[in-house]
Amino acid sequence: MTQNAPTPEPTGIVSDAVSGNWVDTIAPTFSRPYLRLSRADRPIGTWLLYMPCLWAVGLAMLSTQMASWNDLWIAVACGIGAFLMRGAGCTWNDITDRNFDGQVARTRSRPIPSGQVTVKGAAAWMVAQSLVAFAILLTFNTTAIALGVLSLLPVAIYPFAKRFTWWPQVFLGLAFNWGALLAWAAHTGSIGPASFVLYLAGIAWTLFYDTIYAHQDTEDDALIGVKSTARLFGDKSRQWLRLFLTLTVLLLGAAVVLACQDRSILSLVIALGGPWALGWHLTWQLGRFDADDNDVLLTLFRSNRNAGLIVLPFFAVAMFV
């Protein structure tokens, strides 16, 4: 009796995509390569871009002791903007890294090096996403609009950082946490000390989770000459991760204190539960960190969505105390 041949894996799937994601299963076939360019099949990046925005909206409402329907729009608009700008940024990253990506096992299946999308097609897709995001940005106040335009600078620089510095994760942090400043300004009309400290907390958090992520590629990165904090720290990564964890918690706690100066002690104590809970989650990640197990590294990296979300209930409860 002849055995049936195994069903071939659908073509075009990126190696580190979430299994059974909507892009590979239900999205129209013609759109899949472009959605893969935007990492729509790997949503964790959108969440990590979105979290600082939500933290900022929550802290801004605590600071001003005001909440309105406009804050709901800020949260929704930042979510849509995070999806679009993360997509545009990843498209730009893949355009600039197309030669590197073809030499790395984890990234050679991406749309450009695998031939699913041309560079011109990718550039057009990047512009389209950026224009829609800009249209949404125009619904905010002038300060937030200006910050949104300025955010293009760190986004543009980041893909090149790994060519000239061992700390490209800092540049990623500058880009990924810009929403802390933008969302705060969208609520208050200005940038306050609390938002800037929140921005620094987000950068420290990015150094934590992206160092974990970068450990997946250390061997390939060494071969092609790409720099990262994972390669820089090597066997001392656990100590550095502990430092970034501590900085994240302390800076987020300081941002909460600055935002809650005019609120009750009870409200402040409850809001400080957010940094405390985040710290416990990051400590859990650190305890399971294994630089030699890529499956564990990817799982820990993806768990930072929950790490970011765990902060929000504390801010919400504090608002009503």
Poorest-confidence range of 25-29, 137-141, 144-148, 289-293?
A: 25-29
Determine the pLDDT at residue 107: 72
Average pLDDT, integer, range 265-281: 97
Nearest to 214 by CA among 180, 259, 247, 166: 166
CB 172 within 8 A of CB 234: no
DSSP category for residue 102: T
Residue 234 lies in a domain: yes
Determine the pLDDT at residue 9: 40
Mean pLDDT of all residues belonging to the chain: 90
Residue 259 lies in a domain: yes
As a residue count, the chain comes to 321
- Give pTM, 2 decimals: 0.90
Which of 1-15, 64-78, 305-319 ranks highest by mean pLDDT? 305-319
Poorest-confidence range of 29-38, 134-143, 217-226?
A: 217-226
Residue 6 lies in a domain: no
CB 48 within 8 A of CB 304: yes
Residue 5 lies in a domain: no
Torsional sign, CA 306, 307, 312, 314: positive
Residue 18 lies in a domain: no
Q: 191: domain CATH number? A: 1.10.357.140
CB atoms within 10 A of CB 120: 9
Determine the pLDDT at residue 8: 34
d(CA 118, CA 106): 20
> In the chain, pLDDT over 70 holds for what percent of residues?
94
Residue 16 lies in a domain: no
pLDDT digits (tens, 9 = 90+) for 122-166: 999 999 999 999 999 999 999 999 999 999 999 889 888 988 999
What is the secondary structure of 272-316 as a DSSP string?
Answer: HHHHHHHHHHHHHHHHH--TT-HHHHHHHHHTHHHHHHTTHHHHH
Beta strands in the chain (DSSP E): none
Residue 94 lies in a domain: yes
Residue 66 lies in a domain: yes
Structural domains counted in the chain: 1
Poorest-confidence range of 40-44, 82-86, 205-209, 296-300?
A: 40-44
CB atoms within 10 A of CB 26: 7
Range of the domain at 85: 28-319
Give 197 or 32, the one with higher predicted confidence. Answer: 197
DSSP category for residue 189: S
Residue position matching structure tokens 């406009």: 70
DSSP category for residue 8: P
C-alpha distance from residue 167 to each of 186, 205, 211, 287 (Å): 30, 14, 10, 24
Determine the pLDDT at residue 102: 67
Determine the pLDDT at residue 11: 57
pLDDT at 244 over 90: yes
- H or E element that contains 48: helix 44-64
Determine the pLDDT at residue 6: 35
